[in-house]
Chain A
Amino acid sequence: MLPAPFTAEFLNRLEVLRLRTRKDVLGNRPGAYSSPRRGTSLEFADYRKYSPGDDLRYVDWGIFARSDRLYVRLFHEEVDLFAYIFIDASGSMAFPSIKEKFAPACNLAMALGYVVLANHDHVRLHSLKDENAAASPFYRGRQRMRDLIHFVSSVSPAGALEPAPCLGNHLKHIRRPGKAILISDFLVPADAYQQGLNLLRAFNLDTSVIQVLSREEIAPALLQGELSLIDSENFSELRLQWDKTISREYEEKLARHNRELKSFCHQSGIHYSFYATDEDLGRFVLKTLPATGLFR
């Protein structure tokens, strides 16, 4: 049974989407994504001198007429895509409740996964969670959507997240470069998420980042007065006097934190999107993400 947003109409509209990659990918079957290898696609890649045995169909006769030298045209190989969707499953994703943050994030991951499956590409889900590096097998084809849901349902958010070590554990098992999509709230120090994202870049993955925050995190509506706030990841306690001034300053700090993340992604060639969980998933996937360049 698919979650509520996944209506037949929504799925139909997802099927026309296709992930955009900024880098060549290494697929193992013919597909729609450019590969660094030379192949038989229609996209011209380069010339090289003719060698005996080359297919005469690829000889560029125009160059031979002008220079009396034989060159053959080389074309890009088009392969299928290996997509890696990383879902932050730390404790903070359960705030203010699982239904209000983690579930929308998972729905988003499943929507992205379905786009990949519908294009007969490979998708694999990774849950980012303290020491546990749970990852699904590669799925391909629409019929594996059920397995995708099953995997997502088995993940529950808890614990603290250190992006770099956790991503490092997952990347040990990734052999093929492809598309990496990281879904997280990124409520970690800047150097921590930067290390993690740099790690993805180092593995030559075309990385996209979707920051997911609930409305309660964007604009906390806490009762004024003295509060003892408990960190949902490490359960550390913090006492503060919550009032409108603090609320406003928090919102400014969060906006600055998000700007820094976005700026880092921009400088690092990482695609960045922001998803507020109270926003309509269909609108975000079908309008916002294509507009920001994640889909083509």
Chain B
Amino acid sequence: MRITIPFGLPGQFRRNLEGCRGSLYKLAYSWCHDAALADDLVQETLLRALDRSEQLRELARLKGWLCSILANCLRDHYRRVRALVDLEELDETVLAHDETPEVAHTSTQLVSRVRAEVGRLPLGQRQVLTLVDLEGCSYAEVAEILTVPIGTVMSRLCRARATLKERLLDEAPGSAERDNANKIRIVR
């Protein structure tokens, strides 16, 4: 039986934890697209962080540490609900989205369209993309958080963005009849 006493944490640690909560939720939501699940994952992450606070050696590493706990929580969740053990399979998981990409495409809601496409990315790519873009993590931090080589981080990021560019920015064949207002224009 392990015992942790989360008293005695200085104010700086507390403030940092507090400051991470919102972005953790954002990240969790971007990974699972389920508000209730994201809430649970963040709760679980914070409890584990309290439980294992002695594992964190430097406050500067707090963000990455919390992100890796969150990634583990998500992994545990998927293992529980789907009895998935194969991690490679897990990395390939895509999200079922309320709106199909086609529906989202005709939607004026740019946000939901982007989310739908991010959700169609394999989980491995989605995590790398959101850690870099939402959390502002360096490639080295992402490699550590997800325990993959940095080359994998770069190739996943590259593929994720290429896919998003193709689906969001490029004109899809046969889409000329679609409402032009929905196209995203790039000003160069």
A and B are partners in one complex rather than unrelated chains = no
